[in-house]
Each structure stands twice: as structure tokens, then as C-alpha cells.
Amino acid sequence: MDSTEIEQFLKIKKSEIEEQLPEYIAKLSAPEKLKEAMTYSLKAGGKRIRPLLLLGTLHSFGKVEKVGLPVACAIEMIHTYSLIHDDLPSMDNDDLRRGKPTNHKVFGEASAILAGDGLLTLSFQIIADSMEEQLSPKQKLALISGLAKAAGPEGMVGGQIADMEGEGSVLSLKDLEYIHIHKTGKLLAYSVMAGAIIADANKEQLYMLEQFAHHLGLAFQIRDDILDIEGSEELIGKPVGSDTENNKNTYPALLTIQGAKEKLSFHIDEAKRFLYSVDMKHDILNYMCNLIASRDH
Amino acid sequence: MDSTEIEQFLKIKKSEIEEQLPEYIAKLSAPEKLKEAMTYSLKAGGKRIRPLLLLGTLHSFGKVEKVGLPVACAIEMIHTYSLIHDDLPSMDNDDLRRGKPTNHKVFGEASAILAGDGLLTLSFQIIADSMEEQLSPKQKLALISGLAKAAGPEGMVGGQIADMEGEGSVLSLKDLEYIHIHKTGKLLAYSVMAGAIIADANKEQLYMLEQFAHHLGLAFQIRDDILDIEGSEELIGKPVGSDTENNKNTYPALLTIQGAKEKLSFHIDEAKRFLYSVDMKHDILNYMCNLIASRDH
């Protein structure tokens, strides 16, 4: 596909994901206030980069993307729950997310905690109950186990604690990478791996794609840090320079902005090297690499 | 078994559960602070009634209880996470739980939220990764799906929101039952159902046990409400009369204490009627019925 076709593909898949997400909530038999709070954050926009990575990986293996839609939605629910809990007063205490009031600002703190708990729990139910006949029970279990590892104490939750603990002190590059690999990297990597599991990739392909996703995840975070300095306030949806102001540990703070850009290039190159070592179509994932390296929000 | 043997059985199983629970945390590769916070609440005691219901059900079907231990621990982790989040300042704002400082009092609010998130996520990983060969992938998926339903928006999380929304107004018996069926009933019922799923019970047995567990769950909650009035402060670990003082919706408030006791008897009788309609051993589950009806904490 040329880049116009890829953009079209990503646009269509994004709207399929965004159509499906609130459907899962709408059909729940649960109190309306909870459903509203869960739906509010699911509908609050975002790049949907994780579910798109999953569907893009399926496309790369020549598989019908539809079979991956439930797992793609489950990942986005986990990501959404993590943003709701991160924004809470006792965590980052953010009033705005993507330019809109955060969940607890609209629904109150208790409801926001429960909306997050609800999304986290529902994500596992969606995979376990997925009716896709192409998925075997063994594949579903591998998908559930992988999601729990990526999101739980050995993944995202662990990274979040490490991030909090590192606040106020200057971290080494190694410590900073630990935080990012766990806080954002593992779930991004899982998005690719989930696509590969659904596509029945072999062990070597899984390994190469894990390396690909690892470097992609770090590149994603470095770009985030650079955008905080060089980005447009309107596009990133928060004040430029807020990381510096809050004395956050970032790649530019540790490596200078030039050093951070070199690091970004390195990880994008590595990601592509592993990507092209897998015998499959590369166009969409290659495009997403470039997108992540140069995104403006 | 006579009652001494049953007491011995429950005591041994309880200590097996309490030995296993922290093991799951100890082997995690995660920041120490997170592991400490998760372990603190897992070790904070409690009756372990949910995992014991699961193991008791397995015993009733003549199955080796060991095969159910991972799922039993997963249920107790879900229960523990729900207590940590319920105790938070923005929820019930409790400083003490079972006579000990609550999780956020010891580790801070952010860590308590994350410890809860970690326990919730880990519970699904434990079932998905369980090495018990007697469990088929299909059984594991049924166990995961059932746990997510019991704990999520259609279960516990939904009940918690309904409880919060009902605060300050006088509820009908129907609304009060909705709250309790969801907030505590569904997870208690799942504990029995999980045992039945592992024991490969047939459809009719599953239905009868679901009815049994439904009534048991309501009885459990009514006893809780009665204890708040007639219990010993030392044994229940919180001030007697705190529900009345906080204008909580309870069975005695709605039905008088005598009415609540009659309701309790009714649900215990119904539970036993369904229990004895299932062709299996009844001694342990019958004993647990009596325990729940007359417990002093």
C-alpha cells in the first residue's frame, strides 16, 4: 500500500474501534452512572495507537483484522483505565486530559476509581467471551495471560509505582528506561504480540516482533518527552514545558534535546531492523514507526 | 465428617490459602514497594470465606481440593483489592480494617490504588497461567469469564456504585437487595460456581448451586447488618452501631431487627433446600451455611 492507502486503512480501523468500544459498555447490565463514567473516557479520543498496532500486525500477516477487534478494544480499555487512575488527585492530579475535564472532575473521585476498576475487569471478560471462532481457547488464554502481565505488577502498574518513587530525584538512564519500558512499553509491545498470537506466528517471529515492539515503545516515550519541549500546546493538549517545570525525569533532561533525538533515531532504526527480519508485509508497521517518530501529538 | 472434622478441614484449608497467597506476590518481578503494599492487605487476615467455599464445593464433589487453590487465591485477591479501594478516602474513608490501619494509611493513597489495581490484574493472570493439568483451557476461560462478571460492572463494581448512589436516601428492600446481590453476593456465588466448574458439574447441578449461593450471599449480608447492632466491637473490628449512626441502608433499619432475623432464617433455609437437591456430599457446605448464619464476626 502507498501512504495514502495506509492512512485510509488506519482511519477506517480507528473508526471501527471507536464504534465498537462504547458498544461493549452499552450492552452491560449495570448502573447508568457507572456506564456513563466508563463511556466518557473511552470516547474522549486519543490516537488509538495500541489497538491500531494490533490490527496492523494482523494485516501484516495477511489475516482478516476483524478477528482481532475484541482484543484491540480490551487493550484500549486497559489504556483508558490507566489514564483515569493516573489523573486522580492522589496520583498526577490532572484536571484536563486531551483538552477535556478528567474523569474524576466530571464524575467525582470515587466513581472515577470504580470506572477504572470496571474497565480493567471488563477487558478480561471481553477476551474470555470473544465469539471469534478463529481463536482457540489456548490462544485466548495466551492473550489473557499476556495482557495481565503487560498491565499488572510486572508491567504497567509496576512502572507507575517506580515512576512515583523516582519523583524528586535524578534518575540514571537505566532507571528511566525501567519506568518507561514498564509504564508504557509493555502494553505497546503486547499490542503487537497480541496480533502475532492471533495470527499464529511462530516462535522466531514472536521474538523478532517483541524486539521490534520494545524499541518502538521506547521511541514512543522519547518522542513524548521531546514534544513536551518542542511541541505545540494546542496539539499535545497540555502546557509545553510542564515536564521541566515539574522536575520530571525525561530523556532531554538526561541526554540534552540533541541526545534525546539521537536516541529516538536509534530506537526507530532498531525497531525497523527487527521488523524487516520477519517474513511478512511491512508497510503498515513501517508507517506506524515513522508516525511515532515524527508525531506532533 | 462430624463437626470437629469439618472444623479441622476448614482450618487446614485456610492455612493452605494463607500460605499460598503471599507466594504469588513474592515471585513477582516488580518494585518492592508495590509488592509490600499488595502483601500487607493479603496478609491482613479475614475469614477467607470465599476461597473456603470454593474448596468446600470441590470436596463436596469428591475432588482433590488442591486443583482449585489457584482460583481460590485469585478470588481472595479480588476480594482484597475491593477492600483496599473501598477504604480509600474518596470512598468509605476508613482508617482501620480488621483492627489494622488500612492500606492507604500505611502506604499512601496512590500506592493503595495501585496495589488494588495490581491484585485485580494478577488474579486473572493466576487463572490463565495455572499449571493444574486437570483444568482444560475451556474450563479456565469459563473461570476467567465468571470471575470478571462477578467482580466487574455487572457485579461487584456495579454494586459499589449503586451503594454510593443510595447513600442518604431510604431504599426499598428491592434496591437494598440489588446492592447486596451485586456488591457481595455475586463474588460469593462465583466462589461456589468456580468449584462446580472445576468439578465439571452438569447444568442442573450448576443451576441448583447458583441458587444455593445466591441465598447464602444474602444471608451473609443480613448477618453482617445484624452484627453491626448486636455484635461485639472487639470481634467485628469496628464500632457497634456505626451503620445506624451513618444512616446506612440495612436490613434491620428496613425490617426491624426481628424482621431481619426472619429474613436471615428464610435465606438459610432456601440455601439448604437447594444444597440438598444436588447429589453430592453436603456436610461442609451445610456447616458453612450454619457458620454464616450464626457467625460473630
At how many degrees (to 10) do helices A69-87 and A109-129 cross? Answer: 160
| Residue among A226, A227, A231, A230 at smallest CA distance from A259 | A226
Are residues A113 and B91, on separate chains, in Cβ contact within 8 Å?
Answer: yes
Cα angle A200-A202-A204, degrees, rounded to a multiple of 5: 145
Q: CA torsion A37→A39→A45→A51, rounded to 10°?
A: 120
B44 CB neighbour count, 10 Å cutoff: 17
- What's phi and psi for A96, nearest 5 deg? -125, 145
Complex ipTM:
0.96
Residue entry with cell 452438569: B202
Distance CA A41, CA A2 (A): 33
Locate B102 and state its grid cell: 488500612
Q: How far is A31 from chain B (nearest CA, A)?
A: 6
C-alpha cell at A257: 534535546
Chain A residues whose CB is inside 8 A of the B162 CB are 31
Q: Cell match 468509605: residue?
A: B92
Are A58 and A67 within 8 A, CB to CB?
yes
Neighboring chain B residues of A113 at a CB cutoff of 8 Å:
85, 88, 90-91, 113
The reported pLDDT for the residue numbered B249 is 85
pLDDT by residue (tens digit) across B146-196?
A: 999 999 999 999 999 999 999 888 899 999 999 999 999 999 999 999 999
pLDDT band at A247; cut points 50, 70, 90? confident
* Nine cell digits for residue A258: 540533541
Sorting pLDDT into bands at 50, 70 and 90, what band is A10? very high
| pLDDT at residue A181, as a whole number | 95
Q: How far A108 CA lies from chain B's nearest CA (Å)?
A: 9
- Mean pLDDT (whole number) for A220-239: 83
Residue B156's closest chain A neighbor by CA? A118
Confidence of residue A249 (pLDDT cuts 50, 70, 90): confident
Q: Residue B4: its pLDDT value, please?
A: 96
Single out the residue of A42, A35, A53, A38 nearest to residue A18, CA to CA: A42
What sign does the dihedral A13-A15-A17-A23 (CA atoms) show?
negative
Query: pLDDT-based confidence at B215, cuts 50/70/90?
Result: very high
- With a pLDDT cut of 70, the percent of chain A lying above it is 99
- Out of B31, B144, B164, name the one closest to residue A158 (CB): B31
* pLDDT of A49 strictly over 90: yes
Model-level pTM?
A: 0.96
Distances (CA, A) of A239 to A189, A227, A231: 28, 11, 9
How close, in Å, is residue B246 to chain A by CA atoms? 18
Provide the 3-class DSSP secondary structure of residue A133: coil
CB A121 within 8 A of CB B149: no
The mean per-residue pLDDT over the stretch B246-272 comes to 93
What average pLDDT score do residues A113-123 get? 98
Between residues 216 and 275 of chain A, which touch chain B (CB distance below 8 Å)? none
Q: Match 499476556 to its residue by C-alpha cell.
A: A146
The neighbour count for residue A50, using CB atoms within 10 Å, is 22
Residues of B in contact with A149 (CB under 8 A): 125
Percent of chain B whose pLDDT exceeds 70: 99
Pairwise CA distance, residues A44 & A84, whole Å: 11
Contact (CB, 8 A) for B244 and B254? no
Report the residue of chain A nearest B127, measured CA to CA: A145
How would residue A65 be classed by pLDDT, with cut points 50, 70 and 90?
very high
Residue B278's identity, in one-letter code, is: V
**Beta-strand pair B96-97/B100-101:** antiparallel
Mean pLDDT over A131-142 rounds to 90
Of A30, A113, A145, the CB nearest to B158: A30
Q: What is the pLDDT of residues B30-72, one digit of tens each?
A: 999 999 999 999 999 899 999 999 999 999 999 999 999 999 9
Smallest Cβ–Cβ distance between B90 and the set A110, A149, A165 belongs to A110
| Cβ atoms A155, A145 nearer than 8 A | no
Amino acid identity, position B20 = Q
- Phi, psi (degrees; rounded to nearest 5) at A279: -80, 90
